[in-house]
Amino acid sequence: MMDMFDRIETTLVSVLQDQLKTVPPENIRAKRRHRRGSLPALSLFNVDFDVKEVGFGRSVGGVELLDTFSGDNTTVEFLLSVKPLRPIIAVEEPRGTRLTEDDYTVDYEKGLITFSKPPSAATDNIVVRFLKPTQVKGLKLDLRYHLNVWAGDEVQRDALTVEVMEVLLREEEALNRQGIFIKPIKGFNIPTNDGISEEIYGKTIEYSIEASLEVEVPLPRMEKIEIHPARALEKPIIPKDKQTKKYVVYVDDNFHYKDEKERYKLGEFASCKEAIETCKEIVDKFLERGYGKGVSFKELYEGYTAFGEDPFIISDDESCRFSAWDYAKKRCRELCG
């Protein structure tokens, strides 16, 4: 499979080979520098990259698995390698003969399949096809590429540089549809003393390309769904004459829901407004890291409720209330439209 760098370089080289009529296609290549040969020529290569955003993950359904078992005319229960998503895709016994749901039952909590009668004795004669839950985790990358223009004189070099930029500008929308978001950053002449023959004139156009790197990883199947209640902490009884309005912000971890070991006290604040602004800032920072081109409201909000931090306020002031989930839902709608 072509990796991210190869895909970008191959796509850009192909566009330039197709659109530039003043440069032989064989002289447009993905390599670091031009060696002695025919001119004019172009060379493209990656010089650096930055990680712009870290994707928090989004559900993508499942990846198909196939488990096989050997019957023995006695055993009716078989444990699958992982707990499956509903429904099972297919069960065959023997291979090639698809059974109906009357022939077996599935305990999805245990990942256990039970046949109504023992399968016959044979090696690998039972086939179960099913989906395991997965999610995508990814990185948003800012890649830096140098596109070097080589020519036999300065006039040809400069004219070709302009032509290259015009081509990539015209093809910008087509490249965007392929997930390649490209923009020029700067340009500079390549010194002739940089290992380059004095008979070759070079100019570099530096481009920034935004790209995504994604991988699918197994996701533990949700065993049950619980209603997420408002946070509550037991407060000490304080005599009325000694009570003061104090706003304490605590932070829970959505990924470890109801696990108080993951809770921490962020700090105490003099006003409700200050405490609420602090809570909003925590939610906003997570959503800003997770949001990017093409991210939907559902993906962003589900990502927050699964992996984000959940700040809340404890205070004697009963009018001071803040729901991180409600605020996150509002911000997700504003970000995703």
Q: Kindly write down the DSSP assignment for every residue of 40-104, as one continuous string.
A: SEEEEEEEEEEEEEE---EEEEEEEEEEEEEE-SS--EEE-SSPPPSSP-EEESSTT-BPPGGGE
Residue 220 pLDDT class (50, 70, 90 cuts): low
List where CATH 3.30.2000.10 sits in the chain.
4-52+137-215
How many whole angstroms separate alpha carbon 303 and alpha carbon 136?
Answer: 11
Residue 236: band (very low, low, confident or very high) from pLDDT cuts 50, 70, 90? very low
Please give the model's pTM, rounded to 2 decimal places: 0.47
- Give DSSP secondary structure letters for 186-249: EEEEEPTTTT--TT-EEEEEEEEEEEEEEEEEE-PPP------PPP--------GGG----EEE
3 state DSSP class of 117: coil
Angle at 158 between CA 147 and CA 203, to 5 degrees: 35
Q: Is 168 helix (H, G, I), strand (E, B) or coil?
A: helix
Long-range contact list for 185-189, CB < 8 A, 24+ apart? 185/144, 187/161
**Sheet bearing 309-315, strands edge to edge:** 264-269, 247-253, 309-315
Which tokens hold the place of 106? 């599935």
What percentage of the chain's residues is helix, strand, coil (to nearest 5)? 30, 35, 35
The Cα–Cα gap between 234 and 96 comes to 61
Least confident of 53-57, 283-287, 299-303, 324-328: 53-57
Whether 3 has a pLDDT exceeding 90, the answer reads no
Q: Which residues pair with 137 in a beta bridge?
A: 215
Residue 255 has pLDDT above 90, yes or no: no
Q: Is 332 helix (H, G, I), strand (E, B) or coil?
A: helix
Q: What is the pLDDT of residue 47?
A: 92
CATH code reported for the domain at 4-52+137-215: 3.30.2000.10
Least confident of 211-215, 240-244, 264-268: 240-244
Residue 84 token pair: 């499956």
8 Å CB contact between 108 and 22: no
CB 310 within 8 A of CB 326: no
Whole-angstrom distance, CA of residue 7 vs CA of residue 159: 28
Run of H or E including 268:
strand 264-269
96-107 residue pLDDT tens: 999 998 999 999
Distance between CA atoms of residues 205 and 45, nearest Å: 11
Query: Higher model confidence: residue 293 or residue 97?
Result: 97
pLDDT of amino acid 286:
87
Span 140-145, average pLDDT: 88
Per-residue pLDDT at 235: 45
